[in-house]
Amino acid sequence: MISDPKIKRWITSSRQAVCSSQKIGLLGGSFNPAHHGHLSISKIALRRLGLNQIWWIVSPRNPLKKYDFLYDFEERVFSARKIINTNNISISKLELNAQIKFTIGTLEYLRARYHRSRFVWIMGADNLNQFHLWREWEKIVRLIPIAIIDRPSSSFNVTSSVFANKYKAYRVDEADSNQLIYYKKPAWVFMHTKLNYQSSSQLRNSEVK
Tell which residue, 5, 39, 16, 37, has the closest CA to residue 92. 16
Domain for residue 19, yes or no?
Answer: no
- The answer, yes or no, to whether residue 18 has pLDDT greater than 50, is no
Q: Are 100 and 94 in contact (CB under 8 A)?
A: yes
Give me the number of domains the chain comprises: 1
Q: How far apart are CA 163 and CA 50, in angstroms?
A: 24
* CATH number (domain holding residue 140): 3.40.50.620
- Residue-wise DSSP of 78-147: HHHHHH--STTEEEE-HHHHTT--SHHHHHHHHHHHTTTSEEEEEEEGGGHHHHTTSTTHHHHHHHS-EE
2 is a domain residue: no
Domain that includes residue 130, residue range: 24-208
117 CB contacts (<8 Å, ≥6 apart)? 19, 20, 21, 22, 23, 24
User: Does any domain span residue 61?
Assistant: yes
Residue 38 in any domain: the answer is yes
List pLDDT tens digits, range 26-72: 999 999 999 998 999 999 999 999 999 999 999 998 888 777 789 99
Residue 9 belongs to some domain of the structure: no
56 domain residue, yes or no: yes
Q: For 84-124, how does the pLDDT look when each residue is reduced to its tens digit (9 = 90+)?
A: 999 999 999 999 999 999 999 999 999 999 989 999 999 98
